[in-house]
Amino acid sequence: MTSPASGRPLRADALRNRAKVLAAAEEVFAVQGTSASTEEVARKAGVGIGTVFRHFPTKESLLEAVLVALLERLAGEAEELRSAADPGEAFFGFFSRVVSRAATKQAVTEALAEAGVDARAATGRAGPGLRAALGALLERAQEAGAVRADVGAAEVMALLAGMSYAAGRAGAREDVLRIAFDGLRPCPDRAAARG
């Protein structure tokens, strides 16, 4: 995701500018929400507004790029945990970390939500990356008996999005997460409890 739609590679300084804009956008959207103005992003990035629009022809596309970058970063982190010693800890730890990050960055929640839906083309492209990496973490945790066997990656993604939202908006991070985690763990006499 570091080259433009047209085939030609970017000049070094153009690439640097693109990165500056992306970083600025991420921070601005995190702090002020996605309704922050493009000018604000340009200001923070230290470039002209024209430069922002050269790299991202619409505000929509800039937002998308931010979300994609976030998803890719998350996917990368999940990837690294693939060979962790304790699969259960790897899975739940990753989940927790994502949620706590979302608590301060709205955009993370939005990214997760869209990744699950494939609503936008670009996030749709990045979503599967995270889903696959998360799926791998999930499988290993299930094999180790730390997570119940009857849930799939899609549900976990949705749950992740939901908990991220709750963490950012409705307070009560730890306690709510505990409920979700308990719901993800195996529980032999569950059938009985369900009545």
Partner DNA sequence: CATGAATGAGTGTTCATTCAT
Partner DNA sequence: TATGAATGAACACTCATTCAT
By CB under 8 A, tell whether 182 contacts its own copies. yes
Query: What is the per-residue binding string for DNA in 8-47, x denoting contact by CB under 7 A?
Result: x-xxxxx-xxx----------------x-xxxx------x
- Partner whose footprint covers residue 155, from DNA, its own copies, none (CB < 5 to 8 Å by kind): its own copies
User: According to the binding rule CB under 7 A, does residue 48 interact with DNA?
Assistant: yes
Options 1, 3, 33, 57; binder of DNA; rule CB under 7 A: 57
Question: Is residue 63 a contact residue for its own copies (CB under 8 A)?
Answer: no
Does the protein bind its own copies through residue 11 (CB under 8 A)? no
Distance of CA 83 to the CA centre of its chain: 21
- Which tokens belong to 62? 């800039």
- Regarding 46 and contact with its own copies (CB under 8 A), the answer is no
In the complex, least distance from residue 113 CB atom to its own copies, rounded to whole angstroms: 4
CA atoms lying within 13 Å on the CB side of residue 27: 11
Least spacing, CB of residue 20 vs DNA, in Å: 8
Q: Do the Cβ atoms of 32 and 104 come closer than 8 Å?
A: no
Q: Is 13 one of the binding residues for its own copies (CB under 8 A)?
A: no
For residue 35, report the phi and psi dihedrals to the nearest 5 degrees.
-90, 5
**Sole window of 10-18, 53-61, 130-138, 161-169 interacting with its own copies (rule: CB under 8 A):** 161-169
- Taking the complex as a whole, the smallest distance from the CB of residue 148 to its own copies amounts, in Å, to 8
Applying CB under 7 A, which residues contact DNA? 8, 10-14, 16-18, 35, 37-40, 47-51, 53-55, 57-60
